[in-house]
Structure 1
């Protein structure tokens, strides 16, 4: 029978059916009122016009039910708003009938209806219509609950503020979704015996002592705008008690149905996200508005976000250069759809090709160059040091010299914390690139401001640790970590790119800007937290293996060299690092020499010259450690 009627596919009762039921309720209310008066032996006026009187009452009620659209609401979502519509309709009908009574009493000497009968009819009809809606709503909720009961996720909403209550209401009023409200968690000390929406409010101290929360709850629901410290505390409590953690945007942002669809498992990125820098948008915009901009490495994680942010600033042209064909094409499709009014030029090119780059500078007269192209994977570069020379050093040299030659206003290079006291070829190559860029600032006839930004790991970037861990967890493990004590700094991609754009507006050129990265994160703790957020137990469901430091890898990263001094800027989280400099003639000579060795693929000779350029470069867990045993003066002699 259920399948025949297709009840499961019926989204809501048709309006005409609700309208018909309301008419039936009014008719029943009239009959009930009449029987009540008859049993009390009350004499009715104008009994000879009984049928006409009943028809008039029903007709007046139908008129106002139609005007106030009492039938328009979806029954299973009925609220007090629907009650007020019924109240207005029945109240208006009562006023009209009272008016008819007044006229009848004035003209005929007695009222057409008994006044108590009209008020009794008013209350009975209101009660029955609202009772019908509430009963239908509860029956539907119970039916959906029984249908999905076994798969329902029992949720505890964190907080008792208005936003949390709105989230809880959204769960209650959407019985078809896979969540079931099971209670509230609160840090307030006055909530021990409180009940909200029919569910208990559990105090945080009570929760900490309870080791059986899994018998009552499956997950906790946290709001997006919750204070980061509070979120961290609640997540820790939930994971320690074996509960999943879900996240939802604030109810004020999304409608009721949308909130349920936006509930998702909490990601590790949510816990690592930080308060972004406050950017001086007017200054940044003036530097880009109606200007021609070049972004190298534009299809990468950092480069593509720089392009997205610059695209909002009204540039006349954005030239996006990358040698990765497929990512560049995908970015092109995205940007053309998101920014249809922005003029883009997508160029497939290798920055180590000077002639290809020079044509771009000739044609487009760039105002600002954002240089984000680089090889960044430490183990791969350790095995292929000549490639780091071609791209990280040679490519940077090409772009910097062309920027000077074509009077580019600002050249902004994206560097890395691995360039500080490097222990691998990748970091050393980036430090060499920094030195080259800085050396041009005071070179003859230079008008370009050369600026470098240096920061740590970015969340979700290509090849970073978090996506890698996610894939390992999805496969059932093991999660592999190089060392139990390894730590890293993290920041978000938008935050990193805001820093790059802001740095492009600051200073006189030649500066290396470093960022207050906050507290470092222990990678082992990060892995355990990710495993728990996925609903597993570390070293029980998902094993953690330590595989040893990779070639060139170090336990912790630094943002400042030992010999550097830090100068504050007007941004409390942005500082200037005063690192040792090299004269242009010296770094230019060494750059040409290392390029010749790279062309011959003389790896040992490449790294030897790299150690001369970057004296603080000490190889770690690498075949090039042999070079560190050679005194520095001998390195020079051998190189000569």
Structure 2
């Protein structure tokens, strides 16, 4: 008998769960339901008042009084928007709106009836107070229990039937976390099931919000994740510190969990959050710090109305330098790179998105002294950004000659030409791997730095030489980050070269 009951119960769960996932009642439908309920409840109140003897009162009075009552209730239903909430996620706020709607409507109807009686408006406008009070109790109780019943049925179906659920943890048990929870479980296509909240507030830990437990961040461990089959972690804290955010993301990725982020409140569509607005975490979130903001006014003074040459201009760093230069009113930007397709792409991008910017593209190899001298002689650049280099560490280990030929040879050419043609400032893009280098790429860049330093100390050299060492540039060619990004999007794990290795990250705009 118990097996039969369990089977029937599971069928009901499947049916209810499938229904809730396929359908969501529109607000106008609930509005019409409430209006019809008000009218029918009023007729029932008349019958109750007269002990179900319909002959004891004129039916036309009941209908007319019912329409008057319906009109008043409709006004306050619209005013308080008691129909606007999702029934399956009825909250105390929704119940309060229902109570306000029925209470204010009943008070207005009683006052209307008393005024009508006092001033003798006639029987058609004088509604017995007893009927109004019976109606108030009936409609309030019905609205309340109808909404609670739907919510309980939804919870029964949604939390009991596992086949359609995608298990989710929400980091943040505050107001935003509660909104995210409502959005997730109300999505008819997502099939989400919120298994718990995580919050650092000790006063919330161990308590329940809508029957969902609030945990500490210690639950981000293999035992809890595997036991509850967690698939996704949603960050729902508005001002989460970068270091803490990075720590959470790294923990989640190590556990093969997808990490989504809630956008800022001002980015919600019409003030409403939707599931499709939840985004995968950005590369910048791995920084563990706020991106550095530069003094743009000082930079503008050094670049405005100047001819600027950028080598490696089609690469990830060189192309970002060019994009940034578009903001500073340069006179002319010369883009030099030997890669044909990337040069074609950056040229089209600049024409499309930076039409105000004057630039020239030149296919050239920085190791070709004659070609580079022709470019210097033609354009006479005042500032040079030298970003052309081989950067892939494993490839340079296998091809050390090319690392030295391109990185060292190309830098030597650029340094010599910059001094010869009176370049005011030369900026060399180096790498943190040049510090106590342990690989060919790092060693080649260290030699480049030594070339630049040596040249800058010679007498009569007026060019200002600058060396900037980049860490692991998020999103750049040659960076480990594209690999990390792909692994993150696939839910992890993130593989590292060695557990004790230290990487320093920065964004391309930085």
TM range (shorter): 0.7 to 0.9
- Does residue 112 (structure 1) correspond to residue 126 (structure 2)? The answer is yes
Aligned residue number for residue 281 of structure 1 = 296
Deviation at 1:414, TM superposition (A): 0.5
Aligned partner of residue 391 in structure 2, secondary structure: coil
Structure 2 CA distance for partners of 1:73 and 1:346, relative to 1, 3 Å: farther
Secondary structure of the equivalent of 1:246?
strand
Q: State which drifts further: 343-352 or 37-46.
A: 37-46
Matched with 1:52 is: 64
Are positions 1:26 and 2:38 aligned together?
yes
Cα distance in 1 for partners of 2:385, 2:330 equals 14
In 2, distance between residues paired with 1:35 and 1:467?
73
The 1:424/1:166 distance shift into structure 2, 3 A limit, reads same
Out of 445, 450, 466, which is 1:435 matched to?
450
* Counterpart in the other structure of 1:370: 385
> Does the 8 A contact of 1:163 with 1:250 survive in 2?
no
Residues 199-214 of structure 1: matches in 2 within 5 Å?
199-203=212-216, 207=219, 211=223, 214=226
From the superposition, tell whether residues 117 and 460 of structure 1 become closer, same or farther in structure 2 (CA, over 3 Å): same
Match of 1:179 in 2: 192
Question: How far is 1:172 from its partner?
Answer: 3.2
Change (3 A) 1:305 1:21: same
SS of corresponding position for 2:214: strand
Paired residues of 2:88 and 2:150 also in contact (CA < 8 A): yes
TM-score by length of 1: 0.61
Taking only aligned residues, the RMSD between alpha carbons, in angstroms, comes to 4.8
1:463 matched residue in structure 2:
478
8 Å Cα contact 2:475-2:507 kept in structure 1:
yes
Q: Secondary structure at the match of 2:44?
A: helix
Q: Is structure 2 residue 465 aligned with structure 1 residue 450?
A: yes
- Please report how far the alpha carbon of residue 257 of structure 1 lies from its aligned counterpart in structure 2 after TM superposition: 4.6
Residue pair 1:83, 1:130 contacting (<8 A) in 2 also: no
Secondary structure at 1:107 match in 2: coil
Partner of 1:518: none
Q: Partner residue of 2:177?
A: 164
Alignment of 1:385-404 (within 5 A): 385-404=400-419
CA deviations over 1:202-255 (Å, ceiling 9, x no partner):
3467x5999555323515444575335545665677688x57362423553553
Seen in structure 2, the aligned counterparts of structure 1 residues 191 and 56 have a Cα distance that, compared at 3 Å, is closer
Q: Which residue of 2 aligns with 1:491?
A: 505
Gaps of 5+ in 1: 1-5, 499-640
Partner of 2:228: 216
**Kindly tell me: are residues 72 and 314 of structure 1, through their superposed partners in 2, closer, same or farther at Cα, counting changes over 3 Å?**
farther
Q: Secondary structure at the match of 1:26?
A: helix
Kindly state the Cα deviation for residue 374 of structure 1 after the two structures are TM-superposed: 0.8
Query: Of 14, 34, 37, which residue of structure 1 is paired with 2:49?
Result: 37
How far the C-alpha of 1:489 sits from its partner, in A, is 2.9
Q: Which of 201, 209, 226 is the matching residue for 1:196?
A: 209
Q: Deviations over 1:99-119 (max 9, x none)?
A: 465144213588711234335
Count the aligned residue pairs.
487
**Is this contact kept in 1: 2:90–2:148, CA < 8 A?**
yes
Question: Are the aligned partners of 1:392 and 1:433 in contact in 2 as well (CA < 8 Å)?
Answer: yes
**Closer, same or farther: CA 172–490 of 1 in aligned 2, 3 Å:** same
Map 1:49-88 → 2, pairs under 5 A:
49-62=61-74, 80=93, 84=97, 87=100
Contact 1:412–1:452 under 8 Å retained in 2: yes
Residue range with higher mean Cα deviation, 324-333 or 131-140: 131-140
8 A contact 1:298–1:372 mirrored in 2? yes
Please, what TM-score do these two structures have when normalized by structure 2?
0.74
State the SS of the aligned residue for 1:397. helix
